């Protein structure tokens, strides 16, 4: 248990009958009249839904212990992703639904942060950017346009993103894992 005065970004709360909510933002408000309160923005750990919630100052809220570990993606086993704990070398099988959009950017050897609560895997979080190789893209054709164009490109993971026309097959690029956007070339 913690007080609403102790809230911090990233803290995980257990609310609404055991649902896990991560604190995205919080603000202590002391109005001229009336009691102080805490305005928060909470994100559901499993569904990703974001809600605004207000608590009275000093109210007790239940916190959840979330164990975040750095793990390395080893291989695919059917519909499961197999991760290895870097300290204990234990292997953990995580289903595609739990891995979510991170699956679009995972290749063998990539490290990710795996969050667990009471033995249950909550989510897999990749670094903000990853470096991947373009597996295939058509040659860019210059035409009549006032701004730079883009074309589809297939990454080594099989995921397709939009890249500028000058990018060619075999180039290594930097990709934003949150949005799937092209960020730039990687200098070898």
17 Rama class: left (phi>0) / alpha (psi -120 to 50) / beta: left
User: What's residue 151's pLDDT?
Assistant: 86
Q: Name which of 114, 128, 110 is nearest 175 in CA terms.
A: 128
Please list, in sequence order, all residues whose beta carbon lies within 8 angstroms of the beta carbon of residue 80, skipping any fewer than 6 positions away. 93, 94, 95, 96
**Same topology for domains 67-125 and 129-185, yes or no?**
yes
Summarize pLDDT for 76-135 with one digit per residue, the tens. 888 899 999 888 888 999 888 888 888 888 888 889 988 888 888 888 888 889 999 999
Please list, in sequence order, all residues whose beta carbon lies within 8 angstroms of the beta carbon of residue 120, skipping any fewer than 6 positions away. none
User: What's residue 12's pLDDT?
Assistant: 86
CATH number listed for the domain at residues 67-125: 2.40.50.140
Q: Which fold has domain 2-63?
A: SH3 type barrels. (2.30.30)
Listed in order, strand segments (DSSP E) in the chain are 2-3, 12-15, 19-29, 37-44, 50-56, 60-63, 67-77, 80-85, 91-95, 111-117, 120-125, 129-137, 150-155, 160-164, 172-176, 182-185
User: What's residue 135's pLDDT?
Assistant: 92
For the whole model, what pTM was predicted? Answer: 0.70
Summarize pLDDT for 153-166 with one digit per residue, the tens. 999 989 999 988 88
Domain boundaries, given as residue ranges, for the chain:
2-63, 67-125, 129-185
pLDDT range class, residue 142, cuts 50, 70, 90: low
The yes/no answer on whether domain 129-185 falls in CATH 2.40.50.140 is yes
By the 8 A CB rule, do 6 and 62 touch?
no
Read off the pLDDT of each residue in 140-163 and give the average, rounded to a whole number. 79
User: What's residue 67's pLDDT?
Assistant: 85
């Amino acid at each position: 248990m913690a007080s609403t005065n102790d809230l911090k970004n990233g803290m995980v709360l257990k609310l609404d009958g055991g649902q896990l909510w991560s604190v995205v933002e919080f603000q202590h408000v002391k109005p001229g009249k009336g009691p102080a309160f805490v305005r928060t923005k909470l994100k559901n750990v499993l569904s990703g839904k974001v809600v605004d919630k207000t608590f009275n100052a000093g109210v007790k809220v239940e916190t959840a212990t979330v164990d975040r570990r750095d793990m390395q993606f080893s291989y695919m086993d059917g519909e499961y992703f197999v991760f290895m704990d870097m300290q204990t070398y234990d292997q953990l099988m995580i289903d595609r639904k739990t891995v979510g959009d991170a699956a679009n950017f995972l290749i063998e050897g990539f490290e990710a942060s795996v969050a667990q609560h009471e033995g249950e895997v909550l989510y897999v979080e990749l670094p903000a950017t990853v470096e991947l190789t373009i597996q295939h893209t058509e040659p860019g054709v210059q035409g009549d346009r006032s701004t730079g164009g883009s074309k589809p490109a297939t990454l080594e993971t099989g995921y397709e993103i939009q890249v500028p026309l000058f990018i060619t097959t075999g180039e290594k690029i930097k990709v934003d894992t949150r949005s799937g956007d092209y960020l730039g070339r990687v200098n070898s």
